[in-house]
A and B are shown apart, each in its own frame.
Chain A
Amino acid sequence: MSERITRDDVVHVARLARLQLSEAEIDRFTEQLGDVLDHAEDVESLDVGDIPPTAHPLPLVNVTRPDELVESLDRFELLAQAPFAEDGHFRVPPVLGEQP
């Protein structure tokens, strides 16, 4: 198992994402996420000293759109994507406390 990620890290990240994980899932994801990080570690072995840091793989900057109205989604169609809707709103459980 990777040294890079602990069981506590997984519990913490799951909590931030409001995911409820079983003990077995915590073990499984700790191992899987560790594998992902091990794979990323392979990249670190490359010598990139001469390569400037980049924000993006695409050779593009300043891609913008004009400030022009485009028709929005039909509200009926939009709200139909959600498990619950009420009075033109999405309806969500109250379990979340205040905004972070």
Chain B
Amino acid sequence: MTETAEKALPDGWELVVGLEVHVELATVTKLFCGCANEFTSDPNTNVCPVCVGLPGSLPVINAAAVEFAMRLGRALGCEVRPSVMARKNYFYPDMAKDYQTTQYDQPTSIDGELMLGDGAVVGIERAHIEEDAGKTTHIGGGGRINDAEYSLVDYNRAGVPLVEVVSRPDIRTIDHAKAYVSELRDILLATEVSDAKMEEGSMRVDANVSVRPVGSDELRTRCEIKNINSIRSLGRAIEYEALRHIDLYGSGEAPRQETRHWDEAGGRSTPGRSKEDADDYRYFQEPDLVPLRPSADVVAAIDATLPVLPAARRARFAARCTVSAATIATVVERGQDNLALAAIEAGADADKVLTRIENDLAIDDWSLVSVEGLAALISMETAGELTATQTKQVLAQLASQGGDPKAIATELGFEAMESDELDVLVDQLVADNPAEWDRFTSGDDGDRKKMQGFFTGRIMAATRGQADGRAVAEILGRKARG
């Protein structure tokens, strides 16, 4: 889960993070009109009077978008309830209407939770439906907003349906923040609500970051960090922001509540818009759209079609194995859990199946690996018929060409090496290297370890890696004891 070791906050400080994730819904058309939900087309080709708010145009909400929003809400354990659309007024050319249609005090989904791979739970405050804005490109002045000579606007994205998922400020570590986004992405993919591609902007994460002294339960001034384009950026941005706050408190100052932009190349955040314009959106209920009121039957029908979610998929392994939660999470995240589960049910050792898949099946296409093949291979390894190295090689060939593991092992010349042969080899090595053997048997701990490595290495070289490492260790130990 972690790409780089997480830098801990200085002693005595605790991180407080809440995340707001905008998700583009995988509908065919936009939220309030029949224009294509597709904004890689030529600029301004998927635009109609509703998209640009021409006088007399009337929005009608997309039934599929509402269904997706409710499905996501239920997948996050939310109460799905009656909701009302509202106008969020702001003056900026990315919305020709001068307002964004969103939900304000009556969102579709409230009070859910998301469980992370390690069992930590993050509360979901709300998940509401809203429309996306158009795209502005700043021309001149090096493309920077403040120096631009003018801006060009493309409304293809204006009106694309979004759900904004707002977490509670329950996140206490950078790893949990990353895990939350990764878990949410898995849920979006499992429910087919969105293609959830962070790098393409179909999933956008803003982080509300503050810090507080350990042991305190206060919520201090937070800053909202925008423009985070990957899970890795998210970790860097939160760390930078938390350390910035701690520095400020350390020098007797305090952060101001503001929106900041993450600059990935510079590794820092810079202040965004000024406070005087912020949060003065004069929300009011959208008079052109009537309330949504899903019946209990509609919600029950959604529940009935929800797929098994990642948390439940992970739980299926918990009672069967002793591998780490991270291993199980990886296998589920890659969608290899059904293969693993079936191989285990076919009799293969659960821990071995999961670790082999995690370490040696980290590939895009494993469709040639059959349940029977994997189960048979793991059983051969467990029975000592194949060494770890040999098992990996057979698995690689299973994945690239398919087939029967026994036949592949024979084809690759993997006959289990008899202990007798190993014994003879070890005797020969001992005779050839008396000084090293003496250090192994009579040296200190460091010597013994070093020489164990020396002899094992020689044996592996002599057997082209086919010897079983555990058997070698056992023979060396036995001979050393005399």
| Chain A interface residues (CB < 8 Å from chain B) | 16-18, 55-56, 58, 60-73, 75, 78-79, 81, 86-94, 96-100
Interface pair B150/A99, CB less than 8 Å apart: no
Interface pair B280/A70, CB less than 8 Å apart: no
Q: Which residues from chain A contact B278 at a C-beta distance below 8 Å?
A: 100
Query: Closest 6 interchain pairs by CB?
Result: A70-B34, A89-B152, A67-B64, A64-B63, A94-B148, A90-B153
Interface of B is mostly: loop
Interface pair A56/B285, CB less than 8 Å apart: yes
Q: List 9 A-B contacts (CB under 8 A).
A: A62-B292, A69-B36, A72-B35, A75-B45, A88-B43, A90-B93, A92-B93, A96-B92, A98-B272
Query: In the complex where A56-B291, A98-B273 touch, is A67 in contact with B49 (Cβ < 8 A)?
Result: no
Interface pair B277/A67, CB less than 8 Å apart: no
Q: Which residues from chain A contact B155 at a C-beta distance below 8 Å?
A: 90
Size of the chain B interface, CB-CB below 8 angstroms: 66
Q: Which residues from chain B contact A86 at a C-beta distance below 8 Å?
A: 152
Determine how close the nearest CB of chain A comes to the CB of B139; give it in whole angstroms. Answer: 8
Q: Which of B25-33, B107-115, B340-348, B414-422 forms part of the interface with chain A?
A: B25-33
CA A89 – CA B155 in complex, angstroms?
A: 8
Q: Which of B130-158 contact A (CB under 8 A)?
A: 133, 136-138, 140-141, 145-146, 148-155
CA A81 – CA B280 in complex, angstroms?
A: 29
| Chain B interface residues (CB < 8 Å from chain A) | 27-29, 33-36, 42-49, 52, 54, 60-66, 82, 84, 89-94, 96, 98, 106, 133, 136-138, 140-141, 145-146, 148-155, 272-273, 277-278, 280-282, 285, 287, 289-294
CA A99 – CA B154 in complex, angstroms?
A: 15
Query: In the complex where A73-B48, A92-B93, A94-B151 touch, is A64 in contact with B66 (Cβ < 8 A)?
Result: yes
Closest residue of chain B to A79 (Cβ to Cβ) is B44
Determine how close the nearest CB of chain A comes to the CB of B228; give it in whole angstroms. Answer: 16
Query: In the complex where A61-B292, A65-B62 touch, is A89 in contact with B153 (Cβ < 8 A)?
Result: yes
- From A55, A81, A92, A98, B153 is in contact (CB under 8 Å) with A92
